[in-house]
Amino acid sequence: MVPLLLVIYVNYLPDAISGTRGSVSMYTDDTNMVVSHENDSTYHAFHAIDVVKKWCAGNCLVLNATKTECMMFETYRGTANRSKESIKENKMKFKQYTKVLGVFLDKHFKFTTYIANVSKKLTSSTYAIKILMYKEVSREVL
């Protein structure tokens, strides 16, 4: 269960970034920000992150850099423009995929990582069911 004080604090985060090109979606303690721009989305993303950092500092909160992930969704026509200055300035790593509410998303929305993860879980579950069935059948035979 999420602490009530955190929910009260974070509830005003979307208002803080309303002046940027970002939008926020929140579910309990999981906050996602999406920034889009036709030319240089990296600059606008880091600007929005700076606004969030300032908002956190103003509300006596700290943005956890180890849990903060940055990912650029790209079209098949071209890759996203990542300005090198912004990347060095913020020292953030770009991820190839991320997990949002239990679903793995990759930069092209192909869901290959998600399908591989679900397949792995299903394979282990199927194996466990086979073992249980084998043990049950072997008891009946004896």
What tens digit of pLDDT does each residue of 65-108 get?
777 777 777 766 655 555 544 445 556 667 777 887 788 888 77
Give CA–CA dist 86/46, Å, rounded. 7
Helices (H), 3-111: 4-10, 13-16, 41-58, 84-90
pTM (predicted TM-score)? 0.61
Residue 73 neighbours by CB under 8 Å, 6+ apart: 80, 107, 108, 109
- Domains of the chain, residue spans: 4-95
pLDDT at position 139 is 63
Q: How many residues belong to the chain?
A: 142
What tens digit of pLDDT does each residue of 32-68 get?
787 777 766 677 777 888 888 888 888 888 877 777 7
